[in-house]
Amino acid sequence: MLRVKKGRQKPKGPKNTVPSEAVGMSDEGKYRVMTVALIREPAGVEMVEVAFSESARFYRLLRANPEFKRILAVLREAKEKKRAVLVAMEPPQGAVIVDATGVSDLPATSH
């Protein structure tokens, strides 16, 4: 008779998330640690497509976002330096990027 090993259940939800409070945001959503693989800027389109190593989907950064230039600069720098970034999506499991910040930009937490 085969036995099933009973162990700790893995938590459901996205991996590598950081609570919004750690980034100084009060939103309910969480920031995900992502590595920029590709930034595609089609001409005449109101969005930029971003692909991350951790996901097979394309995410959209809308030019209508008031922080568009800052977020795009953060994503470009992360891709160039091959560093991870914290990315917030709207909705949290959606494909629209609403914020991004460098992992090193997090405030230090005291334990």
Assigned domain for 5 exists: no
Say which DSSP state 95 is in.
S
Assigned domain for 32 exists: yes
* Number of structural domains in the chain: 1
Share of the chain above pLDDT 90, in %: 55
- Hey, is 12 helix, strand or coil? coil
Which pLDDT value is given to residue 92? Answer: 84
**Residue recorded with tokens 């600069």:** 73
Assigned domain for 74 exists: yes
Q: Categorize the per-residue pLDDT at 25 as very low, low, confident or very high, splitting at 50, 70 and 90.
A: very low
Residue 95, domain CATH: 2.40.50.340
Average pLDDT for the chain: 80
In contact, 107 and 24? CB cutoff 8 Å: yes
The structure's pTM equals: 0.70
Q: Which domain holds residue 57?
A: 17-105
Which pLDDT value is given to residue 16? Answer: 55
Assigned domain for 12 exists: no
Assigned domain for 50 exists: yes
Pick from 78, 37, 43: nearest CA to 59: 37
Q: What is the pLDDT of residues 38-53, one digit of tens each?
A: 999 988 899 999 999 9
Say which DSSP state 107 is in.
P
